Structure 1
Amino acid sequence: MANRATGGRGGAKSTGDAADLAATRPWLAAYPAGTAAEIDLAALPTLPALIDAAVARFAARPATESFGKRLTYAEVGAAARAVQAWLEGQGLRPGDRVALMMPNVLAYLPVLFGVLRGGFTVVNVNPLYTPRELGVALADSGARVLVVLENFGHTAQAALPGTAVETVVVVSPGDLMGAKGLLVNFVSRRVKKAVPAFAIPGSVRLGRVLGAGRRRAPSAIAARPDDVAFLQYTGGTTGVAKAAMLTHCCVAANVMQCGAWLGPFLSDDRPPVIITALPLYHIFALTASALLMAHLGALQVMIANPRDIPALVKTMQGRPFSAIILVNTLANALLNHPDFKTIDFSKLELAVAGGMAVQAAVAERWKAVTGRPIVEGYGLSETSPVVCCNRPDIAAWNGAIGYPVPSTEISIRDADGRPVGAGEQGELCVRGPQVMAGYWRRPDETARTMTADGFLRTGDIAVMAPDGLVRIVDRLKDMILVSGFNVYPNEVEDVLAAHPGVLEVAVIGRPDPRCGEAVVAYVVRRDASTDAEALTAHARAGLTPYKIPREFIFVEALPKTNVGKILRRALREAPPVG
């Protein structure tokens, strides 16, 4: 398939009088003062241009930090140019795919930026993939190069047969750290967990890549706005994985949309510092951390393993920070660590959450401990990802996903595709410059996802208030039908999560001959004495009878995606034993 795509340019138009805009885009009246209704689509940079502008403007500022080692923007830019030059020396041409399989290590930004500068397409890969999953992504994308952290080299070795990968670049945790990197690599390999043995013929270490690349001059940037910058695989919560084609226009537009919405709420008297705990191979962190924060000149504190909550808390204790992006499960895990309350939150200005619904109990505890509300937003891989976000100046979390960001249109539609009125439920549909160009090599899937008038069907049930504030009710596919009544798992989970004995909970529907489907709750207990009787009594106080779970199954852990989003689909297909 050609690398040039045709999508990604649609968006809300500024034509029409005030009455028309109020009727079609009521959310504009609720925008923070000074926030424009539109971004300048004609002035959108390609991602290499955005990166180079940040490197030039913030050259002396620290850009990224890992294990106490920092790189400035100038150093990141120089390493990125070396990566680009080396890839070009291997015969790669603009549009060729390069897969990245790394957690948040110091080398991530230089490698990511180098691939983008060459006009190559980034294929983001979850390091926790099995060989089968990795092999599918590599074969489907046609990646010619794989960049992998050495800890996952054995997975790569098993996955490579049958793919188009010609070269594997092996990264170590201590790369780009100089002398300090030797110690970091020693600790990584010897103390914490030995790197499983692997042997990939022809593989090359990142250090050699950088050395060779610095001896070459990279080509001038050739990327164009409609070139595909990312193949972002999605489908982890719905089934078959497919890659959203995100063009430079799509992602740059979303960076500018997020910058217009969030940027004014970060102090301009000091460079922002963000805790980058969510993995950068996930679309949320990719845009909101790697690209947006570079655009704003922030220091990104890289967290290689966000599941190691004690280490994450220790890092946050030693580094005053101004922003953090979250998912509900990460916020909950932090709040449950006894030392979290000892962190200095005096510099915290933004705590933005997405990826899954934020639960009221978690949001309330977060505000009580940190003094700042969680600002919830909403997006998808197919929308680069941000569609909506609450105003950053809200006093408290409100249970909504907020307002459409600039240059974004939304439409709530019924099963027949007709728009519904304010306060009525329907499927959330989105149109804007951040919407993907389509699914890679899957035109039928693209056609099923897009409406005739150019809106993306999200598969989420939503309701919009008269002022344009949007609330997600639930995933269309997760809705449970009990004797003809709709039950939304988010609502049931929110009620159960407020019980002091519940650490985590997930709700699904199970076929039932009497009522069609029965509500079942999988619960991770905070208190071992919590039982089904106690949770049933608690649920009765907040739910009508048909919404109360018929069965409670107590488990040690819930299945989750790489960013901590609970996988209801996995519970339906292969439920854990309680």
Structure 2
Amino acid sequence: MGQPTTLPALAAHFAVTTSDNPAFVFAGRTTSFGAFEARCRRVAGALADAGVGLDSRVAWLSKNHVAGFELWVAANMLGATFVPLNWRLAPDELAFIIADAEALILFASAEYAAAARQAAAGVDIRIVVLDEGADWAHDATPLAEPVADDAEAISLQLYTSGTTGKPKGAMLSHRALLGARPLWRDIDWYRWDDGDAGLLAMPMFHIGGMGWALMAFDSGRPNIILPEFDVETILSLIDTRAFSKTFLVPAALQLLLDHPRADAIDFGGLKTVLYGASPMPMAVLDYAMRRLSCDFAQQYGMTETSGTVVALAPKDHVPGNPRLASAGQALPGVELEIRDAAGAPLPAGETGQIAIRAPLNLSGYWRRPDASAAATDADGWLLTGDAGYLDADGYLFVRDRLNDMIISGGENVYPAEVESVLSSHPAVIEVAVIGLPDARWGEAVTAAVVLRDGEIADAEIIAWMRGRIAGYKIPKRIERIPFLPRNGAGKILRRAIREDLAAQG
């Protein structure tokens, strides 16, 4: 068998070559690669019976679960696309995505069954509630052979907000997800050896979670799946040396290190910690390197690049190394350019927009040809909207974002979304939302508000927002100002607000 080019082909490959080896461990139950692939065929048969076929979309609303991986591979076996949904979103946000995705069927865990029904009200979609006590695919005839084996078919559709605040479905092909991975298998932080196991604690609706899980699966090694990040459980797993590799956002790493039990934990079984998705406070990284004594690798990428395209290798993780402030170097198969406002390449040391050309780039945004055309140029370069520069050795330093996106605890927050909700509060005249540096979250969502009623408490405003927008998008800090600074054209000067509030501390 040659190098598998699709996810179902990869599952079939390991079902033959490592059939009895564990692929996933969830809720105390281990699933081998052979059993996993067989289960995916049965689920594919049930999906086919439900009308799923080529170019259909299968949606899923749940915390991390092995069933999510079954649905992903099974949908792909039929030439369909898997669409995991963010369970942290408010009902109106979910409703928009469900309507936009046009999925034939939505699977929800029992915990989110009510949310699924509420969000899908008025949409022609079948909802299946996955109950631990019943197997919805039990009576299905397993699919004999995958219907399609096309590397350019869309395997995964992840929703990522745009600067206007409307979510867009980034379409990721099998080629994007798998095409460059054979080039990476001998990289020290990517390589998996016999005895290695991974921990998946980041959410599967995020490329950080899905990309990490695929890294282990692609290497034929098991992943321990947690429904969500849980400090107590993770510390216990570390103490028993249950896993050797994991991916964490900086805020999660800090929560582990700050926990009262951390001093009593044996971290000796940890081999590699990958981190990314938001800025890493240097003090946290310095302490983590001293306390954990394992390899660290920073990852830079985005949903539109199927995850990591730039990495800072373990060899560069030396205290005091100025390159710790960088994102690292481009991975094999990835090209980087820094461009000026006119789109011309800039030399080393000059700051401009980061552009990426790689087989990992998205195929486009679902039903958004305008956004797709704006994101990628005619030569296949993805225009990231991030500003940065390359040094003489090709290390990428990310300086700022060309747009105003905030990354808080590894989650993307777009000011327009938060401002839209806040501006509808009867006490708010106008508002500007920015991100401020934060030791725990990387950036803290901060609202600068002009109020009609100066007596209203911050807690009352925050309580009003709950249920109207996802919890991680709610400002952690509200600052009252007499007016929003604007330029001559009337545009709000966010940078001025950010600088003033940062100076206040």
Tell me the TM-score normalised to structure 1 length: 0.69
2:87 maps to which residue?
Answer: 127
In structure 2, which of residues 208, 225, 229 is the aligned counterpart of residue 284 of structure 1?
Answer: 208
2:76 maps to which residue?
Answer: 116
What is the CA–CA distance in structure 1 between the aligned matches of 2:164 and 2:252, rounded to whole Å? Answer: 22
User: Are positions 1:208 and 2:136 aligned together?
Assistant: yes
What is the CA–CA distance in structure 1 between the aligned matches of 2:20 and 2:182, rounded to whole Å? Answer: 23
- Closer/same/farther in 2, CA of residues 73 and 503 from structure 1, 3 Å limit: closer
Contact 1:259 1:292 in 2 (8 A): no
In structure 2, which of residues 244, 266, 271 is the aligned counterpart of residue 322 of structure 1?
Answer: 244
- Closer/same/farther in 2, CA of residues 394 and 372 from structure 1, 3 Å limit: farther
1:445 maps to which residue?
Answer: 371
Q: How does 1:559-570 map to 2 (within 5 A)?
A: none
- Closer/same/farther in 2, CA of residues 101 and 170 from structure 1, 3 Å limit: same
What is the CA–CA distance in structure 2 between the aligned matches of 1:503 and 1:517, rounded to whole Å? Answer: 20
1:404 maps to which residue?
Answer: 330
AA matched with 1:224: D
Contact 2:83 2:157 in 1 (8 A): yes
> Greater share of strand residues, 1 or 2?
2
1:273 maps to which residue?
Answer: 197
1:549 maps to which residue?
Answer: 502
What is the CA–CA distance in structure 2 between the aligned matches of 1:159 and 1:454, rounded to whole Å? Answer: 36
1:33 maps to which residue?
Answer: none
1:506 maps to which residue?
Answer: 444
1:459 maps to which residue?
Answer: 385
In structure 1, which of residues 87, 92, 101 is the aligned counterpart of residue 47 of structure 2?
Answer: 87
Contact 1:96 1:121 in 2 (8 A): yes
What is the CA–CA distance in structure 1 between the aligned matches of 2:273 and 2:219, rounded to whole Å? Answer: 16
Contact 2:196 2:244 in 1 (8 A): yes
Q: Summarize deviations over 1:546-570 as a string: whole Å, max 9, x none.
A: 7882434xxxxxxxxxxxxxxxxxx
- Closer/same/farther in 2, CA of residues 503 and 138 from structure 1, 3 Å limit: closer
SS at match of 1:314: helix
AA matched with 2:357: R
| CA shift for structure 1 position 327 | 0.7
User: Are positions 1:358 and 2:280 aligned together?
Assistant: yes
| CA shift for structure 1 position 212 | 1.4
Moved more, 42-51 or 221-230: 42-51
What is the CA–CA distance in structure 2 between the aligned matches of 1:239 and 1:343, rounded to whole Å? Answer: 42
2:115 maps to which residue?
Answer: 155
2:454 maps to which residue?
Answer: none
Q: Summarize deviations over 1:70-127 as a string: whole Å, max 9, x none.
A: 1111221121111011111222212110001121123232222222222210112112
| CA shift for structure 1 position 158 | 0.9
- Closer/same/farther in 2, CA of residues 443 and 506 from structure 1, 3 Å limit: same
SS at match of 1:111: helix
In structure 1, which of residues 88, 92, 97 is the aligned counterpart of residue 57 of structure 2?
Answer: 97
Q: 5+ residue gaps in structure 2?
A: 407-433, 449-483
Contact 1:373 1:394 in 2 (8 A): no
- Closer/same/farther in 2, CA of residues 329 and 238 from structure 1, 3 Å limit: farther
- Closer/same/farther in 2, CA of residues 461 and 503 from structure 1, 3 Å limit: closer
Q: Summarize deviations over 1:359-389 as a string: whole Å, max 9, x none.
A: 1111111112111253111111111122111
- Closer/same/farther in 2, CA of residues 257 and 287 from structure 1, 3 Å limit: farther
1:68 maps to which residue?
Answer: 28
Which consecutive aligned stretches of 4+ in structure 1 deviate over 6 angstroms post-superposition?
none
In structure 1, which of residues 431, 453, 469 is the aligned counterpart of residue 395 of structure 2?
Answer: 469
1:372 maps to which residue?
Answer: 294
- Closer/same/farther in 2, CA of residues 402 and 90 from structure 1, 3 Å limit: same
Contact 2:238 2:267 in 1 (8 A): no
In structure 2, which of residues 309, 324, 332 is the aligned counterpart of residue 387 of structure 1?
Answer: 309
Contact 1:254 1:385 in 2 (8 A): no
2:9 maps to which residue?
Answer: 49
Contact 1:366 1:373 in 2 (8 A): no
Q: How does 1:229-378 map to 2 (within 5 A)?
A: 229-235=155-161, 239-262=165-188, 265-266=191-192, 268=193, 270-289=194-213, 291-306=214-229, 308-378=230-300
- Closer/same/farther in 2, CA of residues 516 and 66 from structure 1, 3 Å limit: closer
- Closer/same/farther in 2, CA of residues 474 and 341 from structure 1, 3 Å limit: farther
SS at match of 1:348: coil
Contact 2:170 2:362 in 1 (8 A): yes
- Closer/same/farther in 2, CA of residues 225 and 251 from structure 1, 3 Å limit: same
Contact 2:239 2:266 in 1 (8 A): yes
AA matched with 2:38: A
AA matched with 1:212: D
Contact 1:103 1:305 in 2 (8 A): yes
SS at match of 2:58: strand
Tell me the TM-score normalised to structure 2 length: 0.79
AA matched with 1:232: L
What is the CA–CA distance in structure 2 between the aligned matches of 1:104 and 1:517, rounded to whole Å? Answer: 36
Between the two structures, name the one with larger relative contact order (CA 8 Å, sep ≥ 6): 1
What is the CA–CA distance in structure 2 between the aligned matches of 1:258 and 1:380, rounded to whole Å? Answer: 18
Contact 2:199 2:243 in 1 (8 A): yes
SS at match of 2:66: coil
Contact 1:65 1:299 in 2 (8 A): yes
What is the CA–CA distance in structure 2 between the aligned matches of 1:93 and 1:82, rounded to whole Å? Answer: 15
Contact 1:124 1:231 in 2 (8 A): yes
1:18 maps to which residue?
Answer: none
Contact 1:278 1:325 in 2 (8 A): yes
SS at match of 1:423: coil
User: Are positions 1:223 and 2:145 aligned together?
Assistant: no
| CA shift for structure 1 position 241 | 0.6
SS at match of 2:55: coil
Q: Percent identity?
A: 27
| CA shift for structure 1 position 277 | 0.6
Contact 2:238 2:270 in 1 (8 A): no
1:27 maps to which residue?
Answer: none
Contact 1:320 1:345 in 2 (8 A): no
What is the CA–CA distance in structure 2 between the aligned matches of 1:309 and 1:238, rounded to whole Å? Answer: 35
What is the CA–CA distance in structure 2 between the aligned matches of 1:405 and 1:421, rounded to whole Å? Answer: 20
| CA shift for structure 1 position 258 | 4.6
What is the CA–CA distance in structure 1 between the aligned matches of 2:405 and 2:123, rounded to whole Å? Answer: 38
SS at match of 1:301: strand
What is the CA–CA distance in structure 2 between the aligned matches of 1:314 and 1:287, rounded to whole Å? Answer: 24
Contact 1:363 1:374 in 2 (8 A): no
- Closer/same/farther in 2, CA of residues 299 and 516 from structure 1, 3 Å limit: closer
Contact 1:50 1:295 in 2 (8 A): yes
Q: 5+ residue gaps in structure 1?
A: 1-41, 176-181, 183-204, 481-488, 522-545, 553-578
SS at match of 1:208: coil
AA matched with 2:60: L
What is the CA–CA distance in structure 2 between the aligned matches of 1:423 and 1:416, rounded to whole Å? Answer: 18
What is the CA–CA distance in structure 1 between the aligned matches of 2:148 and 2:495, rounded to whole Å? Answer: 56
What is the CA–CA distance in structure 1 between the aligned matches of 2:164 and 2:17, rounded to whole Å? Answer: 42
SS at match of 2:364: coil
| CA shift for structure 1 position 517 | 5.2
SS at match of 1:259: coil
